[in-house]
Structure 1
Amino acid sequence: MILGIEGVSCVGKTTLAAQLAPHLDRPVVIPCYYHASPDPTRLPAPEPFTAEHQLANIAEFLDVEDLRLTLAGQALAEGRDVILDRTVDTLLAHAHAVGRMNGFDCDAQARHLVTGRPVAMPDLTIVLTADPDVLARRARLRKGMPTIFYDRHFSEHFNAYLAHPLAPAVALLDATDGSLDDLTAQALGHVHRHQAAQHRPSPHPLKEAS
């Protein structure tokens, strides 16, 4: 299966991916766009101020997505699970958020760009949320973190998009309170239920047309 882990920066995606990995089938953890890029310094700035700039940025990130898709395809061909640290829904959530913050709307065009190319689409996405004040405290510990990534309004708009993502199945988890073990157990519960549902026979199997 392909499992996606989503949410704003500093919410704990990479940590959860590492926690889940031992419980899946020899998974390949595919890093976020920044770490998957051959040269992260050449990636676009996080806050464009026009729709045209945002769409151009998405096109650049989709080139990185091509690399991630190749890694995912190789893992699946080997019978291994895949964990995506961020999915293409990140690109659309970001576009939605910065558009709302800067007075433009390129949601439809962004969706057209993303759906017009092959992408690594998760079977299930775990969306992590956390209190914005908690995120801000975590972000201040990460040197060079752009302030937009822990802006309360950015988080609100980003998460609003994730209520209706491209991913076919989504589970929402609050990462503010509770232990990491509790969060991992909740995520695994969603993974196991999804896997069971995928292997459950249909009550009304279709017959081949005669």
Structure 2
Amino acid sequence: MILGIEGVSCVGKTTLAALLASHLDQPTVIPCYFHASPAPTRLPTPEPFTADHQLANIAQFLEVEDLRLTQARQALADGRDVILDRTVDTLLAHAHAVGRMNGFDCDDQAQHAVTSRTVSMPDLTIVLTADPDVLARRASLRKGMPTIFYDRHFSEHFNAYFDHPLAPAVVRLDTTTGSPEELAARALSHISRHQASEHPLREAS
């Protein structure tokens, strides 16, 4: 199984991935694009102002996706589940959000760029959300966090993208209240239900 964890920055994706890894059977956790990149400081800036700039950024991130795909394939070949800290849907959600904020629309071209190649596609994606004011407080504790990542409008547009993502199955979990452990328990419940629906029990004849 490939599990994707999505959401804007500071919403708790990496924390949830670590907690789920401790409950599942030794899955491989594949880090987000920034941490998976061999040269993270060379990754694009988060807020392009033109469609062409945004599409060029996606092409650069897809090079990192190739590395993540290799890791996912190896894990599956070894019989291990995979947890993706961000998925290719994050690239499209970002493009959707910054486009709406800056007056351009490259959604169709961005989706074509992603779907025209082989990528790591989760069986189930968990999208984490939180109150924008809570995200802003969390972001203030991270030195150098670009302001766009906790802009209320960015979060709204980013999350709206997941009404129609590439991922075949999506559930949303709010992280505004409750402990990380409670969030993990809710996520595990959704994972169990998804796995049961994928592999229903056969009735005895």
Mapped pair 1:61 → 2:67:
no
- Mapped to 2, the partners of 1:181 and 1:159 lie a distance apart of 23
Which amino acid letter does the alignment assign opposite residue 51 of structure 2? Answer: A
> AA paired with 1:69?
L
What is the correspondence of 1:171-182 to structure 2 with a 5 Å cutoff? 171-182=171-182
Secondary structure of the residue aligned to 1:46 is coil
For 2:183, the equivalent position in structure 1 comes to 183
Q: Distance in 2 between matches of 1:86 and 1:63?
A: 15
The aligned residue for residue 149 of structure 2 is 149
TM-score, scaled to structure 2: 0.97
Sequence identity of aligned pairs in percent?
Answer: 80
Equivalent residue letter for 2:145: M
Unaligned ranges ≥5, structure 1? 204-210
**1:25 Cα deviation after fit:** 2.2
Partner of 2:80: 80
Residue 199 of structure 2 corresponds to which residue in structure 1? 199
Number of aligned pairs?
203
Matching residue of 2:166: 166
In structure 1, the residue matched to 2:35 is: 35
Distance 2:180 2:10 in 1: 14
1:192 maps to amino acid: S
Residue equivalent to 1:4: 4
In 2, Cα distance between the equivalents of 1:168 and 1:118? Answer: 15
Q: CA deviation at 1:201?
A: 6.2
Unaligned runs of 5+ in 2: none
Counterpart-to-counterpart distance in 2, 1:45 and 1:131 = 25
- Which residue of structure 2 lines up, in the alignment, with residue 208 of structure 1? none
Shift of 1:181: 1.7
Please state whether the residue corresponding to 1:49 is helix, strand or coil.
coil
> What secondary structure, in the 3-state scheme, does the structure 1 residue paired with 2:53 have?
helix
Question: Structure 2: how far apart are the matches of 1:10 and 1:104?
Answer: 26
Calculate the TM-score normalised by the size of structure 1: 0.95
Aligned residue for 2:126?
A: 126
Structure 1 residue ranges (4+ consecutive) displaced by more than 2 angstroms after TM superposition: none
| RMSD between aligned residues | 1.1
Secondary structure (helix, strand or coil) at the match of 1:127 reads strand
Q: Give 1:46's aligned residue.
A: 46
Q: Does 1:135 align with 2:135?
A: yes
